[in-house]
Amino acid sequence: MTDDSPAAARPAFPVLRRLWDLPTFLLVATTAIWGLNSTVSRLAVGAVSPMALTFLRWIGAAIMLAPLISGQIREAWPAVRARPWLPLGLGLVGFTGFNALFYVAASMTEAVNLSIIQGAIPVFALAMNRVVHRERVSATTAAGVAVTLAGVGLVACAGDPRRLLSLSFNGGDLLVLLACVLFAAYTVGLKSRPAAPQLGYFYYLVLAAAFTAAPLAAGEAMRGHWLWPQGATGWGVVIFTVVFVSIASQVMFMRGVALAGPARAGVYVNLVPAFGAAFAVAILGEPFEAWRALALALVVAGIFVAERGKGRN
């Protein structure tokens, strides 16, 4: 039997082996990559089209992963064959759907907004768990959800609550919000994942994403909107999303969860909006007005309170 834990991929170099056993490093590095992804998605605008990036990301990840985890892929096949609709649905919703909407949104709104609104994913997942799995929601968790949504609402109305009355919103922000709903549904759906090697099963989700992204890419090409990666920026974006976002961060997060436990690892996800906003300001020079600082504080604080409340359900 193949070792199905992330530890099976232990690095060869001593320094990397030490880092591989440090959950704090692994989880902070993971959230930093996820935060940087918002900035990279903005850099993709004009350098590679959204559906081209979505398709190239997942087909590239499938090609790279195949020779590295072939044993786990074979071991996971019986579980996939028993319920093929599950990995297909998870790949479609959590990978293809989320990324396609996210990359389109990146052409319509700023990376700071992309980062902050992503903070809504954990609270959407909590709400869906309540509906789908009948999990109780404590008063503390409900308060955290309300605080986070207040922060997201502040971003959606660009710091002007009067926009809520006129229903005047940035379309990109709304697309990110919809993408967050899809990814929350994906996280809830993962509870139905069968007992199978983690990376092996993950590979079939990647294949499903590449398969379901193909029609979107074809449609983009038929409309004349397909754009191959342009120059160093375009190919740099593709390489970053394939190697770091699609593969490295996923493996590090699995290892971090194995070492620290799901509850502790979940707290680190709070760093994603903070990292994302910091990278957007530092790399892209995007403005960071007082209302954005307030929105970020509300989102992070709300996630923290909601996570604490989960232990009291």
pLDDT in tens, 15-74: 667 877 888 889 889 989 998 999 999 999 999 999 999 999 999 999 999 999 999 999
Q: Which domain holds residue 212?
A: 20-310
**pTM of the entire structure?**
0.83
- pLDDT at res. 59: 97
| 122 domain-assigned | yes
Kindly tell me if the per-residue pLDDT of 307 is higher than 50: yes
- pLDDT at res. 11: 61
Query: For residue 261, what are the contacts with CB-CB under 8 A and spacing of at least 6?
Result: none
Our count of domains for the chain comes to 1
160 closest CA partner among 313, 295, 257 = 295
- pLDDT at res. 233: 96
Please state, in angstroms and rounded to a whole number, the distance separating the CA atoms of residues 32 and 30. Answer: 5
| 236 domain-assigned | yes
Write down how long the chain is. Answer: 313
| 1 domain-assigned | no
Mean pLDDT over 198-204 rounds to 92
Is there a contact between 57 and 229 (Cβ–Cβ < 8 Å)? no
Please state, in angstroms and rounded to a whole number, the distance separating the CA atoms of residues 148 and 155. Answer: 11
Q: Using one digit for the tens of pLDDT, what is the confidence trace for 226-258?
A: 999 999 999 999 999 999 999 999 888 888 877
Query: For residue 44, what are the contacts with CB-CB under 8 A and spacing of at least 6?
Result: 50, 53, 103, 106, 234, 237
261 closest CA partner among 311, 206, 297, 312 = 311
- pLDDT at res. 276: 86
| 13 domain-assigned | no
| 9 domain-assigned | no
Q: Using one digit for the tens of pLDDT, what is the confidence trace for 29-44?
A: 998 999 899 999 999 9
| 191 domain-assigned | yes
What tokens does 102 get? 């996210």
- pLDDT at res. 312: 56
| 106 domain-assigned | yes
| 205 domain-assigned | yes
What tokens does 164 get? 């809520």
- pLDDT at res. 116: 80
